[in-house]
Every structure is written in structure tokens, then in C-alpha cells.
Amino acid sequence: MTTPPLPAADIQPINLEDEMRSSYLDYAMSVIVSRALPDVRDGLKPVHRRILFSMKENGYEYNKPYRKSARIVGDVMGKYHPHGDQAIYDAMVRMAQDFSMRLPLIDGQGNFGSMDGDKAAAMRYTEARLARAAHSLLEDIDKETVDFQANYDETTREPVVLPARFPNLLVNGAGGIAVGMATNIPPHNLGEVIDACCALIDNPDTDDADLLELVPGPDFPTGGTILGRAGIRAAYATGRGSIVMRGRTHFEEVRKDREAIIVTEVPYQVNKAAMIEKTAELVRDKKLEGIAEIRDESDRHGVRVVVELKRDAQAEVVLNQLFRFTPLQSTFGVNMLAINGGRPEMLTLRQVLEAFLDFRQEVIRRRTVFELGKARDRAHVLAGLAIAVANIDAVIALIRAAPDPQTAREQLMARDWPADSVAPLIALIDDPTHQVVDGHYRLSETQARAILDLRLHRLTGLERDRIGQELTEIGARIRHFLAILGDPETLMGVLRDELVEMRENFATERRTTIEENEFEQDIEDLIPRQDMVVTLTASGYVKRVPLSSYRAQRRGGRGRSGMATREADVVTSLFVANTHAPVLFFTTTGMVYKLKVYRLPQGNPQARGKAAVNILPLAEGEAIATVMPLPEDEESWADLHVMFATARGGVRRNSLSDFTSVRANGKIAMKLDDGDSLIGALTCRADQDVLLCTRNGKAIRFSVEDVRVFAGRTSTGVRGIRLLDDDRVMSLSLLSGGDHDSDTRNAYLKAARRLRGEENGEAENETGGESPAENGTEDAASADIDLDAELFATMQAAEEFILTVTENGFGKRTSAYEYRRTGRGGQGITNIDTSARNGQVVASLPVGDDDQIMMISNAGRLIRLPVGDIRIAGRATQGVTLFRTDADETVVSVAHLADDGADDGADDGADEDSEDGAEDGTENGGLDGLEDDTNGADSAPTDD
């Protein structure tokens, strides 16, 4: 059967383009306004609003039993939301998830999903009711506070918006995709948002900076960390911004030599199971290194993801890789789009708060009008009852004489009743329709009906008093309502009080922390600042250990195990630097590499460390010769130079800026002759002196300016000291400029010895001091010089001391004034007596009285002791015992530590790794042994 053609009159030609445009715009606006975008006033989309209203209408309140979710969904779908049941259920589920909503609006019972991406159980299995906070969104909805509209089939009515008591749009956020636009608003802390609202109420001109202090940023229900404030400021000022989120992590030692990264909070809206799976895939693909195992130990108490690391892995580096390659670091794109005044609008933080406050003012105004009307209606009835009670005999007589109720009512209304006794009460209610005129009052029909319905028990004296009391109370309420409607400040006070009440009832502590570091900065901003002890062995194993792992001991102790070394391996370098400090690694071939300290492998004091070849791109046969920690502030490098010294006595000075840019594969630092090697590199100034100390106990001091600044990095430099036989330079030090002549220096040294209680020359002679032939005419010339007290004080304040340590564990401090300045290139003077007792020199370095040093032996033992315990002696003395070494054990490295104020002298003995350190040279407080060590220059170490 064919359809008959339409009459020609019913066919109208249209433009297809216009029809498509019109139909599409209608559809788009329907999606935008009625489905995808939230309203700025209550922060809800239509589906959420309908769910909450339906549950309120059906009595599913927080203090009532749970109801089946299927029943709730059915009610919503049948009466208000003509869409699929699954869409309604999904919206309801999200409002019940505490990891999705900062302040959940639904109290669910059953499986409502998890942050692992698990879906909620079917609606027939779960139950729900309104959460207590949801009542604050619905409160006063029955007091004509908001407009209602017909539902989709016009069988009932639904609210256009809910009379929300708090800014739900900011507190719980929103997300949705409309046609040609989308919204993505992060959740915030309720207390902070309400504080911002109160600030705007108190001062509408509050600037954006003050609002940003009150609302520092989003507060995600899953916690985590926000990096930087630039994205937050952009989002609050323009409505758009990008916020970098990170999960919260910490380090734990899960078992011996095994460290783990523990994730306790994940970024907002990140699927935890997918994050773990992504991490495992990256580990399998070798894109993430250093991870041994990943396991999820989360339970009902919270999130706990354990990322166990390999033994040689750097925890900070692995963590940064997790941030870079996995969802552990995510970005939240803020797009604060909402319906404002019936149209979509991009809103700033201020606009959202102001829109909410304007809406709440309208709600309170409409609620007050409604309550004022109800109060006046009740007051009107009470006024009639008060008249009747005051004239009860006449009222009863009138009613008894009336033939029927209608006549009685008409007679009550037609009579003027005396109102002298109740006139003050009636005046309280401010009834505009009926007033007392000439002491009389005429009843209305409503009042007459109320009198006829009056029960006899209301005529007792107690009930008469209650009527008067209720009239008084209603009069006070009416005046309060009129004050709210007539005074904007009173209305704003009510609004503020209600917001404060909401904060007291529902506000919680902030869960998301905001880091000041911007994400665009280097990753070292994410590494905690901590002093590290960096050690390097001859075999090229490097590690860093927190300085706090070692405690100070008195001199002569046995030390503690500082590193587990292989046979024939020794520690050759040790220094202390901050984790953020850059370090230059100079190699035997003259190359230089640059790394931050935190990139070095971290271990405990007994760990071997990690081979440098696995950290730096060292060529075959290339080894690290020396390392140089640099100032962290690269802007200060322009005024500094680098002084190099080689084992064969060569020196060279370069600008430190030559090494600010070092590629990952290194760069040439210095050209070396065959058989030569770099032994030291220090930053220097032009007003300093260079001190070179050799293995055989020689030293030379000359001005930094004696070495010109070389323009290139590939030269071999100039001669610093002329070496004899097989001697080699062991250490490079820098001293303050020596500008005193020899007579003044010797006079000061003589006075200083006398001040310390030493006779002139006694200390030196007892310990093998300088012979008259070596000291020559200087001692004789200084014998008769009187040193000015002011000059002595000046020299004493500027005095430096050189600590020299030998391989057998002996050492001494010597005044830098005893090292006279000469020209570079000479043979130098005696620094220490390198007898069989002492052995050869390991290091010489400037120290202060409050400083500490760390010494490490080729057996891997390490000791930390205060410099103040070491005696001051002449240049050619043999020194005192600093480190009791075992047979075939020698000191190989010494590091200078600035005083950190911790554990100094706390231990009079050795560490737990030493059996008899408490007895060796420390039982008398570590001081008596010093004197004894100087009395026998030729005695063996075991006799001291």
C-alpha cells in the first residue's frame, strides 16, 4: 500500500542550509543547557539535580534507611529525566564516590566502584540515601526559594535550581563535554571557599591576590601535590589554566640494601591499576630502569603502591622517571565553563563566588518573604484568639445564641470587640490588615473560623498565657524578617552566618599540598637539600651517604666501617657537598664531566657504591683523577677561577666560566704530558696563595697571581714546584694572601707559642723540630722584635692552620704563617717529617678550630673527629696519632668538614664497628693522648 501524496498546500520549500543550522543550534543549546554543563548557582547538571530532588521528595534522607538504587533510578527516570537508566545510575554513583567528590552528596551502601577503574555493582545490588551535606543543597526548597518548571511530560514540577547553601560548583567541581565546548572544574576545599565568600561579603572590593591567599588552589579528594602556582593563577584569573599534579610518595627501606618508593596518594582521576600496569610495561620495555618489583598493597585504610628498587638504583632518579613517564604525574586542564544567567560563560574565581553570593541573597530574600507571610498568617489567627480569650464570656454567649455556625461566624465578624487588654500584643505583630482602632478590633473571617474551632482546653489560664507568649515571639520574628528585607547589611549578615555554619559542620583539612617549585624548573628542585659524603675509590666506585650517618669521635678512635671495598681497592677521594651542588669529574686523560650530587648513587656507609663507568661515559682505560664540587649559584662563577695542579708539579689557572657548559659526553679540561695526572682543582681568587704539598713532605707557597689566567683549556700550564727524585704533588690548597714580612711572622709565632704555654722552640725540639740550619736567621732575627698588641690581635684573627696527615695515621696542625710565600717553581720547604713512623704525606689542607675532618683507610674504615683536638706544632714535626691503623693499613683520603653543630665530641670512643676504640686514646676525653704522642718521635704507633 503506497502513502498518498501530501496536498500541495502542505509542502513548503525551505533552504536546507538554514534548516540544518537551525536544527543543529537547537540541539546544541539543548545539550549545553539541559545536559552537559553545570549551573553556576548550585553547581549541578540537570541529572544530578533531579536525582537529589527525587530522593528528597521520596524521603530518602541521611537519617532514614537506605533504599535500593534501582528504585531511585526508576523514580528519577519516570518523573524527571527521560534518558537511559544507566546514565542516571552512573551520575548517582559518582556523587557517592569519595575519591571523585570532595564532599560526597550520596551515601552509598555496597560496591560503588574504586579508583582502580572497577565499576559499581548493578543498581539492583546497591543501596543509597542522601548524604548529610546534600540536605544543605536542598534545604528551604519548600519555601518558594527557587522557581519550578514542568517536567518533561507536564505531569509534575521540578526545580530549575536547588537553593544550595554552599558553592558546590567549586567544592565538588564538574566535568562535561557539550557541543563545541567543555567544562572541567577541579574540586576545592569547602572551608577555603567559604572563607573567600566571607571575605567578599565583608569587603566586595577584595582584590584577586587576597582571594588567591584564601583559596590557594584546588583540593583534590585523592590528595597528592600540585607543582607551582602559575597554572592556578591563570585558571582563577581567566577561567583557563593547566595544573600539574603529582602523587604523594616517600622512600622506605623494605629490607637490607633495598629501598622502595611508596606511593600513598595518586593524582586526581588517575586509574591506579592502569598506572601500575603502565609502569610495568615501561620496565619491561627498558624505558624505566632501577625497578625490581611493583606491587599494590592498598587496602581499606588507604593507597599503598610499593615500587621496589634494585640495589644500585638511585631512588630520586627513579622517582623522577616515574613522574615523567607514568600517570604518577598528570595534568589537570582547568576550564571553568558554567551556565550563568541561562547561557554558557567562562568564569573566573571571583565571578563564580559573586554569582553564588547573588543567588544566595535571592534565596534568602524569597525565603524571608515566604516565612514573613506564614508568620503574619499565624499572627493574624493568634490576634483573633487573643480577642476571643479576653472576651470569652461574650463570645460564648454569642455562640450559644446563634442558630447555626454560619450565623455565629457572621455575628463574630460584625461586632466590634474591645481590645484594650490585648492591644500591646496585637501591636507587636505589625498586622497591616487589622489594627486596633479606638480600643476596638474587628475580626476577619479567618479569625472567626479559628475562634469557632477553638477547643475548650484552650480557655484555661495556662493556654491563654501561651497565646500571648506565641504572639510575642511571632512579633519578634516578623520584625526580624522585615529587617532582613529592608536592610541589605542584615541580609548579608544572615548569609554570612549560614556560610560559617556550613564551614563548621562540613569543612575538613586540606588534602592536596601545593609546592612552590614550578614544574618548568630543573628536577633538582624536587630533590631535598641534604649534605652528602661523596666517596670515590681507586677502582672507580662512587657513592653518596648522608652526612648524618656518621657521628663525630675523639682522635685516636678506631673509626667505623665506611665502605665495603674489594681486595686491593682503596678510597682515593672524599668530600662533603649538598645534593644540589654541581660536581666536576676530572679524569686521567684530561676530560671533565659534570653531574649534580643527587645523581650519584646513594648508599649506606657500608655499601660499595656504583662503578663510575655506569654513571659517566668513560672511555676504556680512563679513570677519574679528581673531583671538584662547585658553588650552586652559577651567577657567582664569573668572579672565580679554577686552579689546577698536576702530580708532576704543574699548575694552571682558568676562569670557572670555562666549565659552566659541560656536555653529557664531557669536554677537554686540560692537556697532560705523558705520565702526568691531575691531582687537584680548586676555585680561587686573585688575592689568595697556592700551597702545594708533596708526598715526601715538601711544600711551596706562592701567589695565585703568579699563575696567569689561561685562555684555553688544552694547555699544560706552568711549573708550580720543582720535584726531586720520585716525589709527587699530593694536595693543592688555597690560603689567604701572606702580606707580612718574615720578622713580623716569626715574632707573632713566638708570641703565639708563649700564649699557648709553650716555651720558644720546645715543642719543635721535642718532636723533631726544625734545626738551626733550616730555620736560619729568621729565628735569630725575631728574637728581639716586640710585636704590637693591635697587630698581634689582627694577625691572630686572620691566622690559618694547615693540617697535614700521613699515611700511618699521624698528623698535626701548623700555622700558615710558617709557610713563607716564595715564587712558584722552587723546591719548597719542609712540611712534615716523613719518617718511618709517619710514612708519606696523604693530604695537607687548611682547617679551622671548629671544623671536623673525615679520614678513611684502604681497609674501608672511616673516622670523623674535631680539628680542635689536634695539637698545633711546627712545620717539621712528626705530629700526633689521629687514626690508629692496623698492620698493612694506611690512610688514603682526608676530607675537611665545616662544623655542623651535631654530635661534635658526643662519642668519646669508637663506633659500634670498632671493638676497642673507646680505649685507644679516648678514655681521658681524647686530650691526654695528644701530649703523649709528641714525646716519642721515633716510637711505634702502637706505643702511643
**Cβ neighbours of residue 427 under 8 Å, at least 6 residues apart?**
436
Helices 230-238/349-390 angle, 10° precision = 60
Task: Report yes or no: 222 and 186 within 8 Å, Cβ to Cβ.
Answer: no
Angstrom distance (rounded) from CA 197 to CA 200: 5
- Residue 125 annotated in active site: yes
How many Cβ atoms sit within 10 Å of the Cβ of residue 401?
10
Q: What is the dihedral of CA 464, 469, 474, 480, to 10 degrees?
A: 160
Helices 445-452/349-390 angle, 10° precision = 60
Most distant CA atoms of the chain, gap in Å: 149
DSSP 818: G
Which backbone phi and psi does 190 adopt, to 5 degrees?
-60, -45
The C-alpha R_g of the chain, in whole angstroms, comes to: 44
> Burial code of 160-176, b = ≥16 C-beta within 10 A, e = fewer?
ebbbbbbbbbbbbbbbb
Task: Report yes or no: 339 and 40 within 8 Å, Cβ to Cβ.
Answer: yes
Which position among 62, 125, 441, 593 bears the catalytic label? 125
Strand partners, 691: 701, 733
How many Cβ atoms sit within 10 Å of the Cβ of residue 919?
14
**Cβ neighbours of residue 887 under 8 Å, at least 6 residues apart?**
none
- How many Cα atoms sit within 13 Å of 638 on the Cβ side? 1
Angstrom distance (rounded) from CA 219 to CA 192: 10
Which backbone phi and psi does 731 adopt, to 5 degrees?
-150, 155
**E strands present in 225-304:** 225-227, 240-246, 248-255, 258-265, 291-296
Burial class (CB in 10 A: 0-12, 13-18, 19+), 57: middle
Residue 447: its H or E element: helix 445-452
SS3 string, 587-624, reads ECCCEEEEEEHHHCCECCCCCCCEEHHHCCCCCCCCCE
SS3 string, 357-405, reads HHHHHHHHHHHHHHHHHHHHHHHHHHHHHHHHHHCHHHHHHHHHHCCCH
Angstrom distance (rounded) from CA 932 to CA 934: 5
Q: Where are the alpha helices (DSSP H) in 216-292?
A: 230-238, 272-284
SS3 string, 675-728, reads CCCEEEEEEECCCEEEEEEECCCEEEEEEHHHCCECCCCCCCCEECCCCCCCCC
**Cβ neighbours of residue 87 under 8 Å, at least 6 residues apart?**
47
Residue 774: its H or E element: helix 772-775
Using DSSP's 3-state secondary structure scheme, residue 106 falls into strand
CA angle 65, 71, 75 (to 5 degrees): 115
Task: Report yes or no: 44 and 53 within 8 Å, Cβ to Cβ.
Answer: no
Strand partners, 662: none
Q: What is the dihedral of CA 279, 284, 286, 290, to 10 degrees?
A: 60
Report, as residue numbers or ranges, the catalytic residues: 125
